[in-house]
Amino acid sequence: MLSVHEVTTAYQGLVAISAVSIEVQKGEIVCVAGANGAGKSTLLKSIAGAERPRSGTVTFDGKRLDGMAQHHITATGIAYVPENRRLFPRLSVRDNLRLGSYLYRGDADREGPLDLVFKLFPRLSERLEQRAETLSGGEQQMLAIGRALMTRPRLLMLDEPSQGIMPKLVDEIFQAVKRIRDAGMTVLIVEQRMAECLEIADRAYILQTGRVLMQGPSAEIKGNPDVRKAYLGL
C-alpha cells in the first residue's frame, strides 16, 4: 500500500533521516518508534508532503507522492495528524470536524464519517459547540484524529498521539487506533511510548539518528533483549 524507499530529508542542510525505507500493507497498524530526535516526525512529514525529500521515493498504491503538494496527497487518501494537532482553537468542535470533510462539501453524505468519530470518541458529541481551545489535551487529540477521519482516509498517519495527554486517556487513544484499523483503515503511527505502541501494532520499525535500526513483527521487536533494555526499561 505505502512504500518509502531510501528517503533522505534534510533541514537547512542537516540530514534528519537518511536512506530510510519502510513498507505498510493494507489493514496493518505499523509503529515507528525511537528516541526523541530519531527522525520519526520527519519521516511522516516526508510522506505527507510537509517536507520534500532530498532523495528517494514515496509510493502509495502505485502512485508516486514525493514532490506532490500536501493537499494533493490528502486527496489520494492519506490523512496526517501532526504532533501539534493544528486545530483551529477558536472554532467549535463541530466546525473543526466539518473542515475535515471539506473535500466532500458537495456530497449529500458529507458528514457520514461522524458516526464513526462519535463511536470512537463519544465525548466529542457532547462538546460540539465548545471551542477547541477549551478542550483538554486528550480531547484535542481526539478532535484532531476525528477531523482526519472526516477526510475518509485509507491510510491514517499519527505523530505522537499520546503526547501531552493525561495517562488515563492514553489507553483510550490507543484502543481507538485499534478500532480505526478494525473499521477498515490502515494506520502508521509514530510514538515514543514504545511499549504501548507495540501492543497494538502488527509490525514496527525503530529509528535511531535518522536511520532504520531494526524492523520486524511487533512481538519479535518487543522480545528483543536490546530493545527491552534500551527502550522498554526491562
Domain at 181, CATH number:
3.40.50.300
The pTM for the full model equals 0.93
Considering the domain boundaries, does residue 163 fall inside one? yes
3-state secondary structure of 60: strand
What pLDDT, on a 0 to 100 scale, did the predictor assign at position 81? Answer: 96
21, 73, 162, 181 from 174: Cα distances, Å: 25, 25, 8, 11
3-state secondary structure of 31: strand
Considering the domain boundaries, does residue 60 fall inside one? no
Distance CA 209, CA 18 (A): 9
- pLDDT lower than 50: segments of the chain: none
Helix (H) or strand (E) holding 134: none
In the chain, the number of structural domains is 1
What pLDDT, on a 0 to 100 scale, did the predictor assign at position 106? Answer: 64
What pLDDT, on a 0 to 100 scale, did the predictor assign at position 233? Answer: 65
18, 102, 125, 157 from 112: Cα distances, Å: 40, 12, 14, 21
Distance CA 186, CA 171 (A): 19
Considering the domain boundaries, does residue 19 fall inside one? no
Distance CA 224, CA 149 (A): 34
Considering the domain boundaries, does residue 112 fall inside one? yes
What pLDDT, on a 0 to 100 scale, did the predictor assign at position 209? Answer: 94
> How many Cβ atoms sit within 10 Å of the Cβ of residue 81?
23
> Which cell numbers in the block locate residue 129?
459547540
What pLDDT, on a 0 to 100 scale, did the predictor assign at position 231? Answer: 76
Considering the domain boundaries, does residue 10 fall inside one? no
Q: Which domain holds residue 221?
A: 25-52+68-230
